[in-house]
A and B are shown apart, each in its own frame.
Chain A
Amino acid sequence: MHTYRLTHLKALEAEAIFIMREVASQFEKPVLLFSGGKDSIVMVRLAQKAFHPAKIPFSFMHVDTGHNFPETIEFRDKLVKEVGANLIVRTVQESIDKGRATEEKGPQASRNMLQTVTLLDALEEFQFTAAIGGARRDEEKARAKERFFSHRNEFGQWDPKNQRPELWNLFNGNMHMAEHFRIFPLSNWTEMDVWQYIKMEELSLPSVYFSHEREVIHRNGIYLANSEYLTLGKDEFVENMVVRCRTVGDMTCTGVVASPASNVDDIIAEVAAARVTERGGRTDDKRSETAMEDRKKDGYF
């Protein structure tokens, strides 16, 4: 007998494609937030699939802290060219220069929080009504409460206690002037699903995701990649290690992990055996128990 069945990856893909098309239909001016990280690379593939053989009907935007792994930026520009997208870059540095944000002080300083200002300003500048992001519910406990279509008020804020229920395949993107939506097509994906999908689709990734030798410093139980943006604290020193990035973000708060995994199969095996979450290496989440929730309420990704 013929069975009509989709594997879990194909089912997740079908759901995400549905969301992409729903965004294009329901919102006047959506934008895809694109950092060059693995989740946003997966999103680009899903957007391509949703509109093929037409081009992706929205611009890409990178909110850039200026503290990037150079490999990621190189990759970002290459992919944007490949898919023929229009890339907008707005930098935290500009926000600081304009007096819209103030750089954090001290050795722990990070521009992670400041991204919110840059993001909200950019959404307003271009009048974007929906920003598509790669956040997943398995990443963090506050994100576990997110919707596919997540409403933001005129101040860009998230009200987690007053969210719209989402039933069946029905998404309510109705909104008032000056409000916007954040859209999360990968809501139901886990870190493992993302890697399996990368394998299935044979997607290429920035080299920092794979094992390489790098200068690192040990701080608060996390290894940070050494860069000009880090200030060494007392008792801190630079050492060489064979590492890879599990997530790619701002260099000053994204940890690297010791790993010999040099290809996607190795990484899948490593993720299967991992005993620490992907964001376990993010110092931005460790600032307090509700660090992510607090940032999200203010308009963070």
Chain B
Amino acid sequence: MTTQKGYLDMDLLRFTTAGSVDDGKSTLIGRLLYDCKSIFEDQLEAVEESSKKRGDAIVNLALLTDGLKAEREQGITIDVAYRYFATPKRKFIISDTPGHIQYTRNMVTGASTASLAIILVDARKGVIEQTCRHSFIASLLQIQHVIVAVNKMDLVDYKEEVFDQIVKDYEGFSSRLEIPHIDFIPISALHGDNVVEKSAAMPWYKGGTLLYTLEHVFIGNEHNHVDARFPVQWVIRPQSKEHHDFRGFGGRVAGGVFKKGDEITVQPSGFRSKIKGIHTFEGEVPEAFAPMSVSITLEDEIDISRGDMIVKQNNPPRVEQDIDAMICWFSESTQLQLGRKYTIRHTTREAKCIIKETKYKVDVNTLHKIEDDLEVGLNDIARISFRTSTPLLHDSYKRNRQTGSFIIVDDATNATVAAGMII
């Protein structure tokens, strides 16, 4: 059956959307969901009814993504909302983050799991401060692919010159960022131009529609397949008659490829062994790569527990306690305190850490370094150095998003107060 083959062979693409207030982001998402038949009649009816109640003149598609009472009442989005749609080629997960100035935190969260970012630009306003900020965050989070969607082309008479100028302005500042692939697409989310269907109003645009681009973007490079990294999550010991001697290390491959027979080292102990088997519920598999969840058995009996990392002998991670990183501060109620102890969560490892120094903060709008004000509070992005109670088995975030990222937890409140990327 062809339909069967279809859904058993679809990709998964996670993307995030960023735009400033009134860029038409909710309309765009509503349009994508609607045109891909992922909005249902009862949802639409509910939105129509709420729009009427609020006195909106048109059906407000933003209400589809704003799920909480406070959001609907105040017309704002509080934090990241997740939306889903699929075409026969791919399933998409959208992390939709609000565009308000104070919400750097939310975009960092949404971007952390995304392989692609759509950045909306209002054709009438062009590249503005917030466009720079969103692009900087996408670059900081190492998103490999950005689509700059120039929206509201209908309001500038679908003029090619307007679009070309925005492309030129954007390329002007994005050359300072690290985004390997940037696509520009002129659209009208409201009228559907170049979203799912090609626009008849912009014959000068020869590229693909937004949906076509989302369906065809290369996503094979979203995981590191070079440096073999297996953070041990859970030790599987059946202790049953049948599997008496089974001792498997459960985890999710965070990088590289593991094969039966590979010579490995366990960090941080340094013990060496060979992979005896890679196991799944369905049976043994010849190899495992990111982001597969498997369990690994070894030839030798060595002491391994959660937080340890299985790596290949010729390619170790960094094993260090003094680390430099870029962080984004998430807490509304507390600022970063130098010298204070925090808990750090990195891969499956937990440690204590002390922040030794704030080196500088980054002005997310201008990308300038701030060195005269080093107070780190909500939404600030800063470069810090810290020391951990036990070594972190890590790579730079640029090399591996899984082994290069961490969160900081405040022990008093248990809140996640910062997200970090190791330099």
Contacts and interface: CB of A to CB of B under 8 A. Distances in A.
Given A25-B348, A188-B93, A54 B419 contact: no
A196 interface: yes
B86 interface: yes
A275 B407 CA distance: 41
Contacts of B80: 165
Given A14-B293, A21-B233, A24-B234, A193 B68 contact: no
A280 interface: yes
B250 A5 contact: no
Given A8-B11, A168-B112, A276-B40, A190 B246 contact: no
A137 B38 CA distance: 13
A200 B10 CA distance: 13
A174 B343 CA distance: 10
A168 B243 CA distance: 34
A163 B79 contact: yes
A15 B240 CA distance: 27
Nearest to A189: B84
B175 interface: no
A280 B44 CA distance: 11
A71 B8 CA distance: 30
A199 B8 CA distance: 10
Given A21-B250, A293-B68, A188 B109 contact: no
Contacts of A6: 12, 291-292
Contacts of A219: none
Contacts of B91: 8, 190, 193
Given A7-B11, A145-B79, A293-B68, A174 B250 contact: no
Contact of B252 (A14, A138, A276, A277): A14
Nearest to B80: A165
A218 B60 CA distance: 31
Given A142-B68, A275-B40, A18 B46 contact: no
B12 A289 contact: no
Among B82, B83, B411, the one with the most A-chain Cβ atoms within 10 Å of its Cβ is B82
B81 A170 contact: no
B414 A170 contact: no
B6 to A, nearest CB: 10
Interface string A134-176: 0001101111110000000000000011011111111010111
Interface in B240-264: 240, 242-243, 246, 248, 250-252, 254, 257
Interface stretch (A45-53, A90-98, A125-133, A206-214): A45-53
B91 to A, nearest CB: 4
Contacts of B78: 145, 160-161
Contacts of B402: 168-169
A141 B112 contact: no
A22 interface: yes
Nearest to B292: A14
Interface in B283-322: 289-293, 295, 306
A193 B69 CA distance: 28
B293 A53 contact: no
Contacts of B415: 164
Contacts of B82: 137, 144, 187-188
B116 to A, nearest CB: 15
Nearest to B40: A277
A190 B86 contact: yes
A178 interface: no
The winner among A174, A176, A280 for most chain B CB atoms within 10 A is A174
A22 B42 CA distance: 36
Contacts of B346: 170
Contacts of A176: 414
B79 A22 contact: no
Most buried by B among A169, A187, A269, A280: A169
A298 to B, nearest CB: 14
B405 A161 contact: no
A269 B3 contact: yes
A257 to B, nearest CB: 12
A17 B243 CA distance: 21
B291 A170 contact: no
B75 interface: no
Nearest to A280: B42
Interface in A1-30: 3-15, 17-18, 21-22, 24-25
A14 B220 contact: no
A268 interface: yes
Interface string A182-208: 000001101011001001100000000
B280 interface: yes
A9 B8 contact: yes
Contacts of B281: 48-49, 52
Given A6-B291, A277-B42, A289-B46, A55 B238 contact: yes
A172 B280 contact: no
A172 B409 contact: yes
Contacts of A7: 8-12
Given A4-B289, A15-B291, A176-B414, 18 more contacts: A4-B257, A6-B292, A7-B10, A11-B12, A22-B233, A50-B293, A53-B279, A55-B238, A138-B84, A163-B79, A165-B80, A167-B113, A168-B112, A168-B405, A170-B406, A199-B4, A289-B49, A293-B69
20 contacts: A7-B8, A8-B7, A9-B10, A10-B292, A12-B12, A14-B293, A25-B348, A50-B293, A51-B250, A54-B239, A141-B67, A160-B78, A165-B80, A165-B419, A166-B109, A168-B113, A176-B414, A265-B4, A277-B40, A277-B42
